[in-house]
Structure 1
């Protein structure tokens, strides 16, 4: 019911814009995401090492923390999307989210070894991510023609992942030079996060047509779920999300299954990030040609193969490389591709809200999946837990092929 309105001409947009040209707004947001992810991944890279080997956290507690890390963004994604549409100011709302995440970097040293305090800081950091994600993605879709969305999101995610690649390297270098000085990692992370906020505020322009105040009502946002395409996408993304193991568990699983030393944990995200960065743009273009949903499901099939390898408890560096590369392919096929698939089902006046519904369902499902995996791993060990999730993911992929 909404697709025709989205494809109609928009006088506020430049007529010469081509699907082959990535807009300046997308590049600017990519730079912001690159710097932000460098900052965020400095912290993320050291968390499993710190929690598992520093504080002696068990699988059950790690599952709860991993679930919090994923799920804390959920409801605030809806709030960020709604206020971006309601105020007609997606850039301003995104700035609030980026600023909140930046401020939390200084709170990590104060949390010390308290799991409760660490949980609160992680929750605040992820809340900032939740607020900014839908407005940022809405700005990308508003600046890009519908037939170039896969490419635009691919370029953005490639730049985003370049930061994710540099973050663990920076954290590993600091910890090596300063011999385990975690406060230094958090301090440098904060500085990068502030730079990202400044770049967004000063150098990124909101796309044309996105700055006028809208009379969006919350119930109009919920009415979007009556549109079959968007509703099916939300349900399928949530079903697949609950069968997705959290990143922390996957990295710990690789380290233990492959027999790698604990000190290798901060470096494992690099293989995922390198693969993601290299493939995000070409897979985005492929998704524009073949269909975003087909590519999205294919990414989950690749992830399923990684789970099978971990369930088999194979050892060695080659196993680690294969699993982490598959993890990167999964992200290249899903992160951004899902938003490119969902955007044409949402009118521009409700774009951020509609994308937030999809993101929220997926985030809540992944949080539940992380907690469930923690329970299974605590009771069955890692290998059998990955086997159970592999079977569940296979069933979900088959169901998802019929839902959207």
Structure 2
């Protein structure tokens, strides 16, 4: 496969995301165990923490994207966001000895606030730096690099705990500061600003000027997000099915490995056949995984379903962003990407709160059904809406 369209900025931003995700994913698999086990919080409180964190992460992205459009600059938002996320990691670890879960909530929300500042501006910069014909492969490359860090992160945690078995989980949060700072240095020295036409305040706030296809995508993603609870519940479900802590981390690493390997070729596929069928296939895959988790009874189910879940991520995460940037003009990309993430964030907040509240409800003995059935249903309802979105290339060809 020829990697045409992967520019310097795409490579640099891929490296930045790799180190950031290494730091983040060192911690993500242990967060449910740390919050529930070490800090003594309930599953419902875990749902509140993760829902608020992810709601902030996505819910405020429109603000960062909007201001990057207004200023015609992306890099300052990228650097500020990555810096805040890196510095928030130690605060979460200190919660084991100071203040408990409220401090963890503060650190987790600060981490996700940093993500909200940077994400829309970063994704807009990737689109700004890439020929329209290769946006699928560019976003796919970025997701592959990002997820390579996600694969490495849990393995680093396992290696540390294997070599020093008595290491407190809180110590991992302090260690995660190092790769986070590396990402900030790479972003500061390596990213090049692509000057854009500065959007006027009227143009940015007049969201009604977005094309009709954008609103269709936004509605579809909003419906999907109402069932897309935090991935922490997939990890808790895997643990409930019988996986040990080490097995949960390994299964999560396998999920990320599938995501990393598949993201680039599936992004390239969307360049050839269009974004819509790829996104729809991803949401159908999601529905199947969530329905299967609802009915799963044995540990082997988690080993099978989590890698398939990685395929869903590869089908949708970068391709949906490419679809949005294909639809809207360049001076509205930050706002559009941020608005999509905002709608998704509020949907995920609602989904995570509901999943936590319903965690103990079983329709059939031994089957944790309700949150996963809701997730599958929302994906099935959302998928047909994407057919109404018309992807318009720079050359004016509708796909």
TM score, norm. by length of structure 2: 0.90
Residues 321 and 379 (structure 1 numbering): CA distance in 2 closer, same or farther, change over 3 Å?
closer
Aligned to 1:367: 349
Residues 348 and 388 (structure 1 numbering): CA distance in 2 closer, same or farther, change over 3 Å?
closer
1:63-85 Cα deviation digits (max 9, x unpaired): 21221231111343112112212
Q: Secondary structure at the match of 2:176?
A: helix
2:91 maps to 1:107: yes
Aligned to 2:217: 233
Q: Secondary structure at the match of 1:36?
A: helix
Aligned to 1:328: 310
354-363 or 194-203, larger mean C-alpha shift = 354-363
Aligned to 1:171: 157
Separation of aligned partners in 1, 2:68 and 2:380 = 36
Shift of 1:218: 5.9
Aligned to 2:330: 348
Separation of aligned partners in 1, 2:161 and 2:296 = 30
Match of 1:191 among 163, 173, 178: 178
Aligned to 2:109: 123
Aligned to 1:35: 19
2:270 maps to 1:283: no
170-179 or 237-246, larger mean C-alpha shift = 170-179
2:68 maps to 1:84: yes
Contact 1:68 1:122 in 2 (8 A): no
2:301 maps to 1:315: no
Contact 1:22 1:152 in 2 (8 A): yes
Question: What is the aligned length?
Answer: 382
Shift of 1:402: 4.5
Aligned to 2:30: 46
Q: What root-mean-square deviation, in Å, do the aligned CA atoms of Structure 1 and Structure 2 show?
A: 2.1
1:260-285 Cα deviation digits (max 9, x unpaired): 12443333320110000010000001
Match of 2:277 among 282, 291, 294: 294
Shift of 1:42: 1.1
Match of 1:217 among 201, 215, 228: 201
Separation of aligned partners in 2, 1:270 and 1:132 = 25
Match of 1:357 among 339, 342, 349: 339
Contact 1:85 1:352 in 2 (8 A): yes
Shift of 1:115: 1.9
Contact 2:92 2:104 in 1 (8 A): yes
TM score, norm. by length of structure 1: 0.89
Unaligned 5+ runs, structure 2:
391-399
Contact 2:227 2:377 in 1 (8 A): no
Separation of aligned partners in 2, 1:251 and 1:335 = 20
